[in-house]
Amino acid sequence: MFSSVAHLARANPFNTPHLQLVHDGLGDLRSSSPGPTGQPRRPRNLAAAAVEEQYSCDYGSGRFFILCGLGGIISCGTTHTALVPLDLVKCRMQVDPQKYKGIFNGFSVTLKEDGVRGLAKGWAPTFLGYSMQGLCKFGFYEVFKVLYSNMLGEENTYLWRTSLYLAASASAEFFADIALAPMEAAKVRIQTQPGYANTLRDAAPKMYKEEGLKAFYKGVAPLWMRQIPYTMMKFACFERTVEALYKFVVPKPRSECSKPEQLVVTFVAGYIGVWKGLFARIIMIGTLTALQWFIYDSVKVYFRLPRPPPPEMPESLKKKLGLTQ
């Protein structure tokens, strides 16, 4: 499967022509050709960076998708686990609003009854579940983005790129929630049913004994209804925000930005991309989303994965629209 996707990716609009030249060993031709005055052209920063770094894999290769999935594991698993105390109180407020009257009261009651360790209830299914969700969400998003863009072709990919982001993220989240559902079901039982179980090791066998596999997947439909629209907005807003930041805010193209500058743009785009809702939710979800994108992009930088610049209008489309001389 990955080999066929990699073949498609080489002709993919998201795989920029210059990155392909570097992959083919031709990245230095532009810098060695003489300029109008007979002097060698000054190499562009993108070419220099690409030649020096030598990307660890091809865009769209199996290794590329696997490492993107690893980035998803790290970004989603760590951020959601860090928010377990807040998530625990939120779930208990929804189940028993008479007892847990507010966020601060919820923390106070939980600490009084269970101690500090009680705030960590459900951390294991949260870490495992959201790690698997991150693997599928980010890994499959890259896969579906390549597949759908090749189905559309270069020009339609550019014209309908927002729809492509929405479709690719929805497809990825569909599978991500199937991976998340069993652990989410166990987490909710641990956090909201006192005395049922304190650990995943206790909860999982008990759930299976009582209801079979149905116990782990009966919540997948509500997960789809909650997560798919959120993920569609999360990815589409992020992609278009990055594009807008590099076009209107950042004074130089992405190819000329240092890695720290690119990571700052990633964090800002993640925060701006999801901003609507109540103030507390803005802070929680905005920070969570921004951190996930920041960590995910940091993993890409660490493993030297190809990170193409924001999409540009294809030359063929410019000619059709009369935008070239």
| Residue pLDDT, tens place only, 165-180 | 999 999 999 999 999 9
Question: Mean pLDDT: which of 187-191, 248-252, 318-322 is highest?
Answer: 187-191
Q: Which of 29, 18, 11 is nearest to 308 (CA)?
A: 18
- Dihedral through CA 183, CA 189, CA 192, CA 193, nearest 10? -160
How far are the Cα atoms of 14, 34, 110, 140, 312 from residue 161, in angstroms, in the given order?
10, 36, 46, 17, 11
Least confident of 108-117, 217-226, 278-287: 278-287
> String of b and e for 218-248 (b: at least 16 CB within 10 Å)?
ebbeebbeebbeebbbbbbbbbbbbbebbee
Pair 307, 280: CB distance under 8 Å: no
CA distance 261 to 39: 31
Question: What count of Cα atoms within 13 Å lies in the side-chain half-sphere of residue 153?
Answer: 4
**pLDDT for 168:** 97
Q: How far is 256 from 41, CA to CA, in rounded Å?
A: 16
Q: Flag whether pLDDT at 201 surpasses 70.
A: yes
- What integer pLDDT is reported at residue 47 of this predicted model? 40
What pLDDT, in 10s, does the model give residues 49-63? 444 458 889 998 999
What pLDDT is attached to residue 25?
Answer: 45
Token pair 């105390």 in the structure block, residue:
85
pLDDT of 2 over the 70 cut: no
Q: Directed axis angle between helix 84-95 and helix 62-82, to 10°?
A: 60
Band (285; pLDDT cuts 50, 70, 90): confident
Residue 309: predicted pLDDT? 72
Q: Which domains does the chain have, with CATH numbers?
A: 2-310 (1.50.40)
At residue 48 the predicted structure's pLDDT band, cuts being 50, 70 and 90, is very low
The two three-digit tokens of residue 33, written as one number: 């050709």
For the stretch 75-108, pLDDT in tens is 999 999 999 998 899 889 888 889 998 888 999 9
Give me the pLDDT at residue 320, please. Answer: 82
Q: What is the pLDDT of residue 286?
A: 75
Q: State residue 265's pLDDT score.
A: 54
**46 pLDDT more than 60:** no
